[in-house]
Amino acid sequence: MSVSTAASARTICAPLTVLGRDVTVPLVTGGEVGYAALDYAASAPALQRVWDDVAAYAPYYGSVHRGAGYLSQLSTDLFENARRTVAEFLDCREDDQLVFTRSTTDSLNLLARALPAGCQVFVFETEHHASLLPWQDAQVTYLNAPRTPRQAVETLEQALAERDPHGPALVCVTGASNVTGELWPVRELAAAAHAHGARIVLDAAQLAPHHPVSVRDLDVDWVAFSGHKLYAPFGSGVLAGRADWLQAAEPYLAGGGASRKVTRREDGGVAVEWHDSAARHEAGSPNVIGAYSIASACKALTEAGFDTLVAREQHLIDTVKAGLAEVPEVRILSLFGDDAPRVGVISFVVEGWNSSHFAAALSAEYGIGVRDGLFCAHPLVRTLLGSDPQTQGECGAPEAAPGEKSLNAIRVSFGAGTPDEHVERFVNAVRELVSDGAKWRYRTEDGRCVPAV
């Protein structure tokens, strides 16, 4: 069974068409302007293709795996076909399992719950909190921030060489930093992990929307990512990889769908036989639309061709970096150096400005949406900022600790739906704000920097 859509015959071009491209927003200085969405690293806008596919399916929505009716069977088929599509997108191995979750955070917490007893976990302090924090119940070794890709591999090799070689171990690493956008040496880290008897999980939340991710080629044991960063913002995520730890673990959630058989025991309790398939960790009615939207986005990116998308994104990266380099007051944050390969994520600070104040001015005076703060990667941003003095400005960082009102940065991020005009307007706005200052006054309200009324 299938759902036909007009999208099947659409010619895919770069940039891909996203929702919100025609949205206008008011400026505090008067008038309106087309909104420049440059916060893809937080949540990317939905592809028009995804929206159209979901709209075409919506009238046929039904319960999954539980109904004899036509719509239930169609929805079940759609859900399982989505699983196969995403597995193909990730180039999974034949015996891998792909579990639909709510997000990257949910995926990594699921894996954390499935760790074998006594498992040692190794994670760099540079990780997003989604991959830094789920391992609290395990024996965790936090590795210092490396300053080169080679140092990252050497740091991991040294830590693994000192571990107990007889127990299970897991390495967790990002594919692309959500702060600097820099690409990590995933294949080399995987080789180091396996050489020391450890497994590795890849946080591909920032990598998958920008570059192809092959489980086989990278030789990772698991990969996790979120739909809402892959142009499919319907509250779904993916954990794909080795089945054995997942099959041996208690279900992530207990409930219908995860259980194969439930009976009463003689002692009055309940005996449960759990599924061995992905359903074991997908209790409850699944997010069919979320899974289908991820599959739709995977198809759209594949059809557009990553070679084309990567080349165009590199043009946008070069435009932003060149523009910021012309402003002496701007410092781009980097672990591996200015020339390190990266995806469309760039964080920076501006001398004489608090980053929250600068981001607020970009929004209120230019209609440009960026991110400010520590980006759910506090240890990494603290390392990158060090003790560099930053002017307090009119507003402090949102939810900053006392004495750390200037410990924050600005992040601009973009992708397959970003037109050239957005990044050009951003670069020009940075130049104007630094040279001329803000045209409006700002204040802190409920932890945010906002225009003063």
Q: Which active-site residues does the annotation give? A: 376
Q: How far apart are CA 259 and CA 255, in angstroms?
A: 7
Q: Provide the 3-class DSSP secondary structure of residue 124.
A: strand
Q: How far apart are CA 252 and CA 270, in angstroms?
A: 18
For the chain, the residue count is 453
Who's near 103: CB < 8 A, 6+ residues apart? 130, 226, 227, 228, 235, 236, 237
The residue type at 146: P
Q: At what angle do helices 70-89 and 288-304 cross, to 10 degrees?
A: 40
Rg over CA atoms, the chain: 23
- Give the CA-trace dihedral at 345, 349, 354, 357, to 10 degrees: -40
Residue 412 CB neighbours (<10 A): 29
Detail the DSSP E strand segments found in 247-327. Answer: 259-264, 270-274
Who's near 315: CB < 8 A, 6+ residues apart? none
Take residue 400 and report the two structure tokens written for it: 């900053």
Q: How far apart are CA 247 and CA 255, in angstroms?
A: 16
